[in-house]
Amino acid sequence: MTTTVYVPRDTAALSLGADDVADAICREATARGADIKIVRNGSRGMFWLEPLVEVEHDGVRYAYGPVSPADVPSLLETGLLTAGSHRLALGATEDIPYLKRQQRLTFARVGIIDPLDLAAYEAHGGLTGLRRAAAMTPAEIVEQVTESGLRGRGGAGFPTGIKWKTVSELPDAQKYICCNADEGDSGTFADRMLMEGDPFCIIEGMAIAGLAAGATEGYLYIRSEYPLAIETMKAAVAVWEKADLLGDNVAGSGRAFRLHVRRGAGAYICGEESSMLESLEGKRGTVRSKPPIPAISGLFGKPTVVNNVLSLAAVPFILAQGGAAYRDYGMGRSRGTKPFQLAGNIRYGGLIELAFGVTLRELIEDFGGGTASGRPFRAAQLGGPLGAYVNEAMLDLPMDYETLADNSAMVGHGGIVVFDDTVDMAEMARFAFEFCAIESCGKCTPCRVGAVRGKETVEKILNGVDVARNVALVEDLCEVMTDGSLCAMGGLTPMPVMSALRLFPEDFDTAPAVAAE
Amino acid sequence: MSVEQARSAQSDHSSIIEAAATHACRTHHNDPANLIEILHDLQEDIGHVPQSALPVIAKAVNRSRAEIHGVVSFYHDFRQAPAGTVTVKICRAEACQSMGALDLIEAVCRRHGITLGETSASGVTVEPVYCLGNCALSPAALVNDKPLGRVDAERLDAAIGSALA
């Protein structure tokens, strides 16, 4: 009987040698005459356990990790193929607390199936949503999405149903669906995991969006830093085209939808929607003034739905189970689940999909196990390089759009970057300006010039020059950038800067210790 | 090399660039909306996007040379000169900083006698990158196409060594 062994081929697993592990298992199994099949799945998102090898035994999957090629002979010796015990044995995968405590709706299949196996996708609930959507009118699809309470998962949190409705009701013959996979925020990797681990889910979400909005063309814009995601998505689109799921007659709907995968070119700003549209048109990725919003005048001036990967990937579940089933998760006006990403100086980093409302402390301490260095926690940055820093006192805040906004922070794309007590928060404020200076598109002055001046001014503070005056100057500059920038790049760079100043003032107090008089 | 040989080599070189640029444009139907893809293809083919390719592309996609230059210079990915035989990209964004990425970058640069962005005599280019999406395994790096997670100077050296070999 053939035993199935799973070895992830997600970039994170590969970065710890998963290919070498797969080769070793193949070699050792062949040498022992064992009959095995190796499936290269996505990652379960428990990265400290990668490469995480699983074996299917009596219909249950058992996990071993982290496995190095050197562990493979002893694993096979002690009966890996019959789920035997070993010092790396973790028991049944589904029973690992880190996974068991999650509510995986969007990530239901990630790490479980071969990402390009359409039959496995369908066997695990895939295509149900699209088939239901194919039998619905655009208005009915929009209604389900509206009812789900889904809001933009890229960070802005705009209600997805309203966006779709706007585009759906416009009479234009040509409309577009654009999926923003320019996941540039430090501390985020959910889009990448999904593209590498369950690409069909994103295609299904885009196809449903196409049916809802009356769009016949879709573009998936992936950052060039994700070569494996690009390769996987292109292969996935080819699988769907071959199965006639994309093309002139999407899932038997009688309506057309075609999908194009396009690469970014190393510009963070192209994660801003209008800048992404410029890039998709082959231009410099400079932001556009709004209005008009992309829903009215987007790609090539046509009505365009621009959604983040995670927003679109939530849609197949919503259509399959109904909007109400999704809305049942969450708190307040933040409905459904959010894939949080624990990163940086964290012991058990990874992906945690949970309903909104989970506290930061639960994520960082219960799931994350504290810092990787073992030193005390000092700060966490939420929602990427444009997100606020939080301190220990804020860890009991529930993760929800409104609560965080009320506390001058944001959920963003769900990234949580942890720092221990060795971090210099004035240096992090300086870096926030530096990053803005490097990545600003240059179109508006508050961002283009403000970032450079901000960096210089924080450097003066770091050198103890006129600290009080320069702190006031930074605060003033931040106000100008917040109010005067065209987009979130310049508009939100003050978030990390001001939160660092507000919560960690001691790090900015570098005035000479010896007073003059 | 005689002057004549040098001239002929130079014209060979520029005809290679012209042919590669023309080919990249044709693959993408000479469509200006595909400019980013065209530039990626060209760079994958000949290692960089030379100035001399710009008029060729401009003509093919019916845009001004200035517009093409504007796009090439906007995106960090496009090189105006070839990189070394091994390109090392080390993430210096926040998550990797929290795990000592800046010290790692300094150590690697010192070892190869270069500053960030330069190419060593042995052909190693070390460049910054802002997020590789491997933030739970910081610090993260990329040696040519090989991703490395939870990397230290020793592992990075080994990866660079085998890429050079």
Which of A48, A186, A285 is closest, CB to CB, to B131?
A186
User: What confidence tens digit (pLDDT) does each residue in B132-151 have?
Assistant: 999 999 999 999 999 999 99
Can you name the CATH fold of A425-508?
de novo design (two linked rop proteins) (1.20.1440)
User: What confidence tens digit (pLDDT) does each residue in A289-340 have?
Assistant: 999 999 999 999 999 999 999 999 999 999 999 999 999 999 999 999 999 9
Q: Which CATH number fits domain A330-420: 3.10.20.600, 2.30.30.40, 3.90.920.10, 3.40.50.300?
A: 3.10.20.600
B chain contacts of residue A111, beta-carbon cutoff 8 Å: none
Q: Check CB contact of A418 with chain B, cutoff 8 Å.
A: yes
* Domain ranges, ordered by start, for chain B: 3-74, 86-164
Can you name the CATH fold of A118-327?
Rossmann fold (3.40.50)
CB neighbour list of residue B100: distance below 8 Å, 6 or more residues apart: B139
Query: 3-class SS at A500?
Result: helix
The dotted CATH code for B86-164 is 3.40.30.10
CB A287, CB A95: distance < 8 Å: no
Length of chain B: 165
**Domain A3-96 sits in CATH 3.40.50.2000:** no
Torsion angle of C-alpha atoms A127, A132, A134, A140, degrees rounded to 10: -140
Average pLDDT along chain B: 95
Instruction: Name the token pair of A251.
Output: 């899932």
Contact B95 A372 (CB under 8 A): no
Contact A381 B71 (CB under 8 A): no
Contact B148 A15 (CB under 8 A): yes
Nearest-neighbour CA in chain B from A187: distance (Å): 5
**Which of A476, A369, A288 is closest to B136 using CA atoms?**
A369
Q: Check CB contact of B57 with chain A, cutoff 8 Å.
A: no
Q: Check CB contact of B74 with chain A, cutoff 8 Å.
A: yes
Of the pLDDT bands very low, low, confident and very high (cuts 50, 70, 90), residue A156 is confident
B chain contacts of residue A343, beta-carbon cutoff 8 Å: 95, 135-136, 138
Distance CA A284, CA A277 (A): 10
Within 10 Å of residue B139's Cβ, how many Cβ atoms? 28
R_g of chain A computed on alpha carbons = 24
**Which residue type is seen at A513?**
A
**Which residue type is seen at B58?**
A
ipTM, interface predicted TM-score of the complex: 0.94
Of the pLDDT bands very low, low, confident and very high (cuts 50, 70, 90), residue A514 is very low
Q: What is the pLDDT of residue A426?
A: 97
CA closest to A340 among chain B residues: B136
B 113-152: CB under 8 A from A:
129-138, 140, 145, 147-151
Instruction: Name the token pair of B162.
Output: 């085998």
Asked if pLDDT for residue A500 goes beyond 80, the answer is yes
Q: What is the pLDDT of residue A169?
A: 97
Q: Check CB contact of B62 with chain A, cutoff 8 Å.
A: no
Q: What is the pLDDT of residue A1?
A: 83
Q: Check CB contact of B37 with chain A, cutoff 8 Å.
A: yes
Contact B137 A187 (CB under 8 A): no
Nearest-neighbour CA in chain A from B1: distance (Å): 39
* Domain ranges, ordered by start, for chain A: 3-96, 118-327, 330-420, 425-508
Query: Is the overall model pTM greater than 0.90, yes or no?
Result: yes
User: What are the Cα distances from residue A59, in Å, to A3, A56, A82?
Assistant: 11, 6, 11
Distance CA B39, CA B28 (A): 10
DSSP calls for A480-505: HHHHH-SSHHHHHTHHHHHHHHHH-G
Residues forming a β-bridge with A61: A56
* Stretch A95-115: mean pLDDT: 98
B chain contacts of residue A368, beta-carbon cutoff 8 Å: none
CB A437, CB A453: distance < 8 Å: no
User: What confidence tens digit (pLDDT) does each residue in B18-63 have?
Assistant: 999 999 999 999 999 999 999 999 999 999 999 999 999 999 999 9
User: What confidence tens digit (pLDDT) does each residue in A22-67 have?
Assistant: 999 999 999 999 999 999 999 999 999 999 999 999 999 999 999 9
CB neighbour list of residue B118: distance below 8 Å, 6 or more residues apart: B109, B125, B126
Q: Check CB contact of A344 with chain B, cutoff 8 Å.
A: yes
Within 10 Å of residue A124's Cβ, how many Cβ atoms? 14
CB A169, CB A178: distance < 8 Å: no
Distance CA A193, CA A199 (A): 9
Distance CA B162, CA A162 (A): 53
**Which of B144, B19, B157, B6 is closest to B84 using CA atoms?**
B144
